[in-house]
Amino acid sequence: MVMARHWYYSSPVMDGQSLLDEPGFWPAHLADLSEGFAPEAFGSDAGDADAMLDKLHDPSAWPVFTVPLTGGFTIVVHYNSGEEFTTTDYFLTHPDWNQDLVLASDDQDRIGPGLCWPELAALLEAPPGAAGVADPHARLLLLLPVLGDAAVPEEAVAAVVEALIAQGAPEASEALARHLLQGHPM
């Protein structure tokens, strides 16, 4: 597992990959972007989404997701919860770097978002045999909070609809996809 910030080394970090397949993950992960949409829009129920929010915000187990890229690069999605805060940080890492690049963070400083649509679309295919999140639909939805493009093309809407359906959302997901792609709260 790739560690993002050096001060997280003593933190209760856990591999979050197994959470991707649990009910309620997507409405919980995308809660800031999907305001106004019920968990049912993702094919989940409110109880599952609430239970997943509790897991994602558990101060005793901070989920980390790795999105492998070519050339040894990785995007690390890192949840961290303290007594008074819960944030999600997105880092670009490389084993040769001394420090990681922060793509986005929803902490009180609100860093990012850090990618435009063509950049995000280029990251959807995982390198062959890489460990981490490999499914292109899961990669898109996991990294969607890093998207900061105010003028996404129609192909982005179609890609998000396809990803939502692949992850269990109902066929009528275009309104949710458009909402997820509109102005970013960060």
The answer as to whether 147 is a domain residue is yes
Task: Count the domains in the chain.
Answer: 1
pLDDT tens readout for residues 87-143: 899 999 999 998 888 888 876 666 777 789 999 999 999 999 999 999 999 999 999
What SS3 class is residue 113? Answer: coil
pLDDT tens readout for residues 144-158: 999 988 789 999 999
Q: Which pLDDT does position 4 carry in this prediction?
A: 44
The answer as to whether 1 is a domain residue is no
Longest CA–CA span in the chain (Å) reads: 45
Model pTM? 0.91
Mean pLDDT throughout 173-185?
A: 85
Backbone angles phi, psi at 80, to 5 degrees: -145, 135
Domain range enclosing 10: 6-181
Cα 154–chain centre separation: 21
Strand 13-15 to 86-93 pairing: unpaired
Note if the bond before 113 is cis, omega within 30 degrees. yes
Q: Which pLDDT does position 5 carry in this prediction?
A: 47
The answer as to whether 142 is a domain residue is yes
What SS3 class is residue 14? Answer: strand
Distance CA 54, CA 76 (A): 20
pLDDT tens readout for residues 34-78: 999 999 999 999 999 999 999 999 988 999 999 999 999 999 999
With vertex at residue 132, the alpha carbon angle to CA 28 and CA 37, rounded to the nearest 5 degrees, is: 20
The answer as to whether 58 is a domain residue is yes
The answer as to whether 186 is a domain residue is no
More confident residue, 132 or 32: 132
122's tokens: 């280029």
The answer as to whether 30 is a domain residue is yes
Q: Which pLDDT does position 98 carry in this prediction?
A: 87
